[in-house]
Amino acid sequence: MSEATEKRALQKLQRAIVDSLEDVRGKEIQVFDTTHLTPLFERVIIASGTSNRQTRALAASVRDKVRTAGFDKPRVEGEDTGEWIIVDCGAAVVHVMQPAIRDYYRLEEIWGDKPVRLRLAASEKATDAPKKRAPARRRKTAAVTKERTRTAAKTRSGAPKAD
């Protein structure tokens, strides 16, 4: 595989993982380039979940989205407790943690030399675009309001309308 093809595959994998974490409302998602630190994987992705149930849902979402994106089935460790789940996707390793565990182990200090800036997905670009303002309604002037009130009163009283 050429270097450009490998890079595109890594970007596709990274996008699938980040999208899956965002789908389940993962918190504080960070991506780090680890190519200079280890030959085992190229990205470390860290995210937080607010409960055991959410961390399990985040890991399951990553596993499912990576498979549907055409990659091999990732290996998952730690689902039984749900406090810290590791999803090994080959070129990327995902750590889904509860905030207390994340604060204690501070993986960002180990892997965080080179944070990766994420490009917005097309759907996010559309929602971030400035929204067009609706045209402002014109306020009725006092004279127009008074005239309409007078006309309505005449109509109700049975008096003929003035043209």
pTM over 0.75: no
Neighbours of 147 (CB within 10 A): 12
The predicted structure's pLDDT at residue 122: 45
Give the C-alpha separation, 160 to 157, whole Å.
Answer: 9
Strands 43-48 and 92-97: parallel
All structural domains of the chain with their residue ranges: 3-121
The predicted structure's pLDDT at residue 126: 45
The predicted structure's pLDDT at residue 60: 95
Q: What is the DSSP letter of 50?
A: S
pLDDT along the chain (163 residues), means of 10: 85 94 94 91 94 95 95 94 94 95 92 75 48 52 62 61 52
- And the tokens for 121? 């997905």
The predicted structure's pLDDT at residue 31: 94
Range 3-121 classified under CATH 3.90.1580.10: no
Give the C-alpha separation, 146 to 97, whole Å.
Answer: 66
The predicted structure's pLDDT at residue 48: 95
Provide the H-helix boundaries in 24-121.
52-68, 99-105, 107-111
Phi, psi for 121 (deg, rounded to 5): -70, 160
